[in-house]
Structure 1
Amino acid sequence: MLIAVTTILTRDAWWNEAISVASRLLLLKLILGMTRDAQVLLLPGGFLRVERESDIDGVLVDVEAVLEGYYQAVLWGMDVADESKKTGKDDCGPDPHLPFYAFLRLADGSKPLWRARQLAASSQQAVYFSALPTDRVVRVGSQTIGILLCGEMLAGVYGRGRTTRWTRDMVRRADVVLDVAHADVAVGGSRNWTWAIEKCADAQPSSRPVMVAQHLAMSRLDTVKWGAMGQAPRVASQTVLRRHVGRREVRPGGQPEAIVDLYDVGCA
């Protein structure tokens, strides 16, 4: 299976660029055209950003119009800018209600993961066991893909470490793990997310295939922590890095706006 993992390069704050839906839909079309040979296209969390929850459905109609005629499975994130929706309470106590969602549309038009809400953004947030999803392992061709949304692998559960166990179980059930991250995922240092996901599979970091999509500010390219100097990093586990088979640049305005890394992780 050939998986295309996208890094969106930004010059402004990424959330300001993501809220220009028309520009992002054009970028999506360009990326789709460049990755026709891939079975799966992974885009970042917040690839699209809308002002209100009520705007989501209309934007999804536009997204599906762009996807028509392309035969990849596409996984992307959409955020809601309304900060008032970020937190909430239920009868059992505090639980983050983050306005960040993920969508997966397969090549045949089916939608095994649709409007999946991100459960937590950091280790400081708690998620109730009853809220943990059961649909995050999806079959695409002959492979099973486990889907994480941004910082979920770091989150705790209110009173217990159940999220860690949930993530570990999900990673063990999946052939490949895809993380729909938002932005600025460091390749080295304490925020090496691929290591964190791999560690969920076993007591020690495993050879689990893990790939992470993100936004990356152009200014980050001059810092070793974020990858090779002057180049967008390939944020993936060591096993997947050995299966890196190509890199493509999307340059609608003459300068790169997206980097697409291709990984061959098995037969479709």
Structure 2
Amino acid sequence: MTKKTLSEMTFLDHLEELRWLLVRSTIAIIIMAIVTYFISDYLFDTIIFGPTRPTFFTYQFFCDLSHQLGFAESICVTEMPFIIQNTEMEGQVNVFIWVCILAGFILSFPYILWEIWKFISPALYDTEKKNAKVFIFFSSLLFFMGVLFGYFVVIPMSVNFVATFTVSDLVINQFTLDSYIGMVKTSVLASGLFFELPIIIYFLTKLGLVTPEFLRTYRKYAIVLVLIIAAIVTPPDVVSQTIVAIPMLLIYEASIYISVFVSKKEKK
């Protein structure tokens, strides 16, 4: 049986395609999650719990940078005054499973993008369908850049802030395993998906749902929102907030230029 064209497909046909997209994507995530099982020791000891150690790359980098710029020695992280504990019977088992699934999702992200492209490609022009490799490459690149940004910038600064913040010397920080892993998952995924903003804006502009004028109008609100987010996830110093805020603002500005480019192309 020949494959139906877009005009021949019914609503149920589209739902069937979407169902198989989700099935194949889920299988890919599970396969990659199983792969991460065999490196789980490295995944947890070195990667997941890396930001809990003063020797973590980000802390050392900012300490060396502060010395070169002549900043105060206080920016250097010498200790992490907290412990992580498990308080539930199945706590470590649940964390192990969900971390492997998260790692599986990150590793299989390019394949998931390929599945999404196949789903939306029937609605595109022939010239646009040829850009599948470009779409997958840049979307994957932005996502992995966001994941690295979340891991090497957002998480260490968040951990350092909550570890050193205290309302009284009588209070000892003892974080639960679930809360720490939740912070790691949220920071990594949120950063990765936020870096996909230029790709999202590209398609929203093509659909006529977003215009450059709209993005410029709400730029000031976006700046305020980014600064608030940077203030929340970083220690209360200008340097840390700037390091987090600048890449996010650059992503937003890049999205505006992409929207302008697509708008001009659509008008032609």
Q: Which of the five TM-score ranges fits, normalised by the shorter chain?
A: under 0.3
TM-score for the superposition, normalised by structure 1: 0.26
TM-score, normalised via structure 2 length: 0.26
Q: Which has the higher strand share?
A: 1
Rg bigger for which structure? 2
